[in-house]
Chain A
Amino acid sequence: MYISAFQLMPHRELPADFEKRYQSIWVTPPFHELADAKRVGQYYNWTLDELIASAKAGADGICTNEHHQNAYGFMPSPNLMGSVLARATEGLDCAIVQMGATLVASQPPTRVAEEYAMLDCISGGRLVAGMPLGTAMDMNLCYGVTPIEQRDRYREAHDLILKAWKSREVFAWNGKYTQLPMVNLWPRPIQEPHPPIWVPGGGSTSTYAYTAERDYCFCFLSYFGYLSAEHSVKKYWEVAQQKGRDTNPHRLGFLQLVGVSETDAQAEKDYAEHIEYFYHKGLHVPGEWIGVPGYQDYQSMANTMRNPIIQNAVNSLKDKRYKDFIKEGFVVCGSPATVRDQLKEMSKKLRVGNLMVLLQIGSMPHELTLKNIDLFFREVAPALRPIDEEWENRWWPAGLRKKSLRGATV
């Protein structure tokens, strides 16, 4: 198993009554009432330091992502963060996992191709190129993308980026959304023909098919943990099989919130308030915004409306407390032994080869985050690494792949 550290870059000091006073953490939270730019600078630097500490502690990769107008994650440009991280982790066997630059947020999308190529060059070929669709909040509400066009725009942007990376000739791009007379990318990525591509997503079957058809890694990014993901992940593996793909566990990435402390009791003392902060304040969003009309295709939307799993999960978050989040597997939290056992169970249930762990959760302060990082990579990660090591991680930068029993080693 390959294990990467993921950061969201949240506001760590929201007022206690935030969710009662404000409509949403996303899109509409008033910056000047809630934040201070100098303090925000501190958050960014803590985030960078925590990711660098993870890399030094032995993380296989470090991940950043993109959100807009969002107080639980305000890295509008993950590539700015990735650039710092690429430089700061020089010489470490650590991938720069961009999860990533939202394709439809850049016009023309060749901008993403350029920036990813830059990151691959700066990092010496350590980039993993995440290609997120973007949420409705980010893309429709904040960036004004027409909901019903978003998937079509994404697919066209993907095709353009791939061609821009691979083409040896200058070419004209006559797309529906982007027209460019002379595409000739500078620089090109070190990894040929291109860096490994990961597609983050949730429960959309069309994304499973899209990812499997192109032989990419599908990353299930959920905050609701491994137990609730079982049904969707099973569906993903079925689709991968239908598309003729093997069962290499590295085809699947999964994000899990994790808290490690000396004992289960100490873990509760350390992390309970930060976990509740994350779910009560960090995910405080009107359910309507998650599914703006047109964001999902007709069939997916109809399925969602008839069986509103996510909506119900979001609606019930504020009724849950620490014990519920643990019991329901939203967060894997406890002593090293507890966390090891649960993550082993997770890997069996889901068949995950690329695990991403969120070790800074909600209001968790810097020092406590460093403790979590240290304990996780020292006491937990070594026990997970041998899992599925017979499979080659074909979705990892070739220069960083570990020896595997099956397939080629690099």
Chain B
Amino acid sequence: MTSVNDRRVTVWQNKINVNVKVAGSGSPVVFLHGAGGLQWGEFLDSLASRHTVYAPEHPGTADGDPDAIQHLDTLWDLVLYYYEILDALDLKSVPVLGHSFGGMMAAELAATNPARVSKLGLICPIGLWRDDVPVTNWMIYTPANEIVKILLYDPEGPLAKMMFGQPDTEAIIKTIWSMACTGKFVWPIPDKGLKKRIHRIQSPTLVLWGKQDKLISSVYAQEFASRIPGARVELIDKAGHLPFVEHPARFTGLVEDFLRA
């Protein structure tokens, strides 16, 4: 088990004290979590065996600091805020992986200033929209206690039971607030203009998607890849919206190959 440390970094006119989870050693990799908040699991552990993994927690989602979100109002604020975090961590040009909401942010970072993102790994990102395949609105999914059905390929299996079997009120509070803080930048439709900026991405890009993702269909993999020069797609079979949790070994292999190449 890798030891994961909390590193506090102060940015944004000293108003936000970001918590960055840091683990491992080796060349740096940044991971941006999805709307549900950062959960450190097997995938990040494996990644940390060869890399130094930096995983910042979205403003407002770190323990004890729910109001940090009040200091950022727009997507533009949030993009610039991330560059300040990279500055504070002394990461001039770094591979950035992002999942779902974090995937959209990773793409925005790479499109806004291509020099800051050396490689881009998009894991079932939001950020584009097709009327014929709308993205499920995860913030109002009902019944909420069945959200596992749109997150996992197998909502009945042992992984589902482990992750969702024992509802824990404090964990639910954390998840709800994380959705509130990330939702600030994408409500009510997660299409905030990335399609106009995405062509600016220059970094080698890997788009990873659970083939049976029910939250955001894997048809979006091609939507992203077709707009990013040279992007490659890997669909992970028998996986939903959390492919790195559902098949951590296979997933880590794909990411490692990409980072090494």
Contacts and interface: CB of A to CB of B under 8 A. Distances in A.
Contact of A146 (B66, B144, B172, B184): B184
Nearest to A285: B142
A305 B180 contact: no
A180 to B, nearest CB: 19
Contacts, number: 66
Interface string B179-194: 1110110011100000
Nearest to A308: B169
A148 B69 contact: yes
Interface string A128-158: 0000000000001100101111000000000
Given A140-B188, A286-B142, A293 B183 contact: yes
Given A148-B181, A293-B176, A288 B73 contact: no
A176 B73 contact: yes
Nearest to B141: A288
B129 to A, nearest CB: 14
Contact of B140 (A149, A176, A288, A299): A288
Contacts of A291: 176
A149 B143 CA distance: 24
Contact of B173 (A149, A287, A301): A301
B142 A293 contact: no
B145 to A, nearest CB: 9
A303 B183 CA distance: 21
A299 B176 CA distance: 12
Interface in A287-310: 287-289, 291-294, 298-299, 301-302, 305-306
A301 B180 CA distance: 11
> Looking at chain A's contact residues, is the secondary structure mostly helix, strand, loop, or mixed?
helix
Given A144-B188, A147-B180, A294-B183, A302 B144 contact: no
A94 B142 CA distance: 43
Nearest to A299: B66
Contact of A305 (B143, B172, B179): B172
A122 B143 CA distance: 47
Nearest to B65: A298
A302 B189 CA distance: 26
A35 to B, nearest CB: 23
Contacts of B169: 305-306
B184 A294 contact: yes
B143 A288 contact: yes
Interface in B164-215: 169, 172-173, 176-177, 179-181, 183-184, 187-189
Contacts of A289: 140, 142
Contacts of B140: 141, 288-289, 292
B67 interface: yes
B90 to A, nearest CB: 32
A301 B176 contact: yes
A286 B173 contact: no
A141 B176 CA distance: 16
Contacts of B177: 293, 298, 301-302
Contacts of A305: 169, 172-173, 176
A337 to B, nearest CB: 44
Contacts of B181: 148, 294
A218 B143 CA distance: 33
Given A148-B69, A176-B73, A293-B179, A288 B142 contact: yes
A178 to B, nearest CB: 14
A306 B60 CA distance: 20
Nearest to A294: B180
Considering residues A293, A301, A302, which has the most beta carbons from chain B within 10 angstroms of its beta carbon?
A: A293
B249 interface: no
Interface in B49-92: 60, 66-67, 69, 73
Nearest to A306: B169
8 contacts: A23-B142, A146-B187, A286-B142, A289-B140, A293-B177, A301-B177, A305-B173, A306-B169
Given A141-B140, A144-B189, A149-B184, 6 more contacts: A148-B183, A148-B184, A286-B143, A288-B141, A292-B139, A301-B180
Counting from the closest, the 6 A-B pairs by CB-CB distance are: A294-B180, A298-B66, A293-B179, A293-B180, A286-B142, A144-B188
